[in-house]
Amino acid sequence: MKREPDWLLIAEALDRILAAVQPCGAEAVELLDAFGRTLAEPVTSPIDQPPWSNSAMDGFAVRIADVDGASASTPKRFEIIESVSAGAFPARTVGAGQATRIMTGAPLPDGADCVIRVEHTRLDADGHVEIVDDSDAGRNVRMKGEDMTRGVEVLSAGVVLRPGEIGVLATVGRAHVPVAVRPRVGLLATGDELADLDDYGEVLAGRRIVNSNSYVLHASTLAVGAEPVLLGIARDQAESMRQHLAQALDLDALVTTAGASVGEHDVVKDALESIGMRTDFWRVRIRPGSPFSFGLVPRNGRPDLPVFGLPGNPVSAVVTFDVLVKPAIRRMLGRHKLYPRTITVRAAHRIRSSAGLVRFLRVTLEPAGDAWLARLTGAQGSGILTSVARADALLVVPLDREVIEEGESAVALPLASPDDSQEQHPF
């Protein structure tokens, strides 16, 4: 029986998807293997960091009250009572008119409350130090616990571990880190017309088209932090479809490409329904990619298998995966931030659209003062994959807009990239 399209708004489609998925659990990994993973539990510090107040400069530890008014014409003279290097501890208390020579990182001696950098001092013939600039009064001291305090949470569950977070985990002594289990996401291409790379001769001969979707989505799955599982190409035959779907039943999610029409004689739909899938919705107000479907396959003793039916056109697959599938994977990873990051840009030229669907247009971004100029990569057909390769972002055209004028502000979704560099230095 043919199903009528639901035509959901993107927000409603996301709400229904996110309500149907859940985190995949946690595991422990070594700290050096934790980069890019999602922290599964909050982390508290067992120490104060720094463990003691220490010097941020090479110089002289003194009392603020004794430094006030020091200048090149009216220097203040101090007795040097000891020298403390990093790794050593002071033995004497600094009193009035006294100074301790101190190295960066060395503990601040009792009595002192600032460090005068070497550049603001000079030694006299008697071995005393003269301070010739009082601008360091009250400065150059890293206070005990100013970075972390014992017993206080320093990292929350759900954050993605970047170099900074890895450094924090090392500081608090976490040799092993609790992280979210990576969801295993099956990627299944469908269609008699497809050939894989090991059969590329069929493409060169003009008899087939290449299965690029599985490779694009493999990279996209890695980029969001999940584990992609290539399931190959299912032919437009019920038995082939069932055999390939059987490989997905032990995974955490399934993404199919092509066969997303949910029509009366759709082989993908029929095969999924034969293993019990309940289609939640079909069609979203998004372009490219409106024939997107979502459903659940029940499993004994395990959470239902979420199934995302993506269109077969390559750009449609990229857009719907970024907008509708990635938030679900982030939920499965236990992350708090689920939705695509957006930036505000200005249109570099007049951009035409059509009302009724939210359009995602491929654009390059050019720095222009305090803003980014968004320029279309060229033709925007859903089969033009090179437009994605040239793009820096997806420009969002709301469903009630037909034109974005030159210079007008708009929202864009930066595309995931392992390289965040640019040609010109920004400094």
**What angle is formed at CA 116 by the lines to CA 110 and CA 119, rounded to 5 degrees?**
150
Contact 40, 180 (CB under 8 A): yes
The strand pairing partners of 390, in sequence order, are: none
| Distances in whole angstroms, Cα of residue 107 to Cα of each of 63, 64, 144, 235 | 15, 17, 10, 71
Query: How does 206-227 read in b/e, with b if 16+ C-beta sit within 10 Å?
Result: eebebbebbbbbeebbbbbbbe
Longest dimension (CA), the chain: 101
Q: Which residues of the chain have pLDDT under 50?
A: none
Predicted pLDDT of residue 369: 84
| Distances in whole angstroms, Cα of residue 211 to Cα of each of 216, 227, 245 | 9, 19, 18
Predicted pLDDT of residue 226: 98
Predicted pLDDT of residue 1: 59
Predicted pLDDT of residue 262: 57
Helix, strand, or coil (residue 159): coil
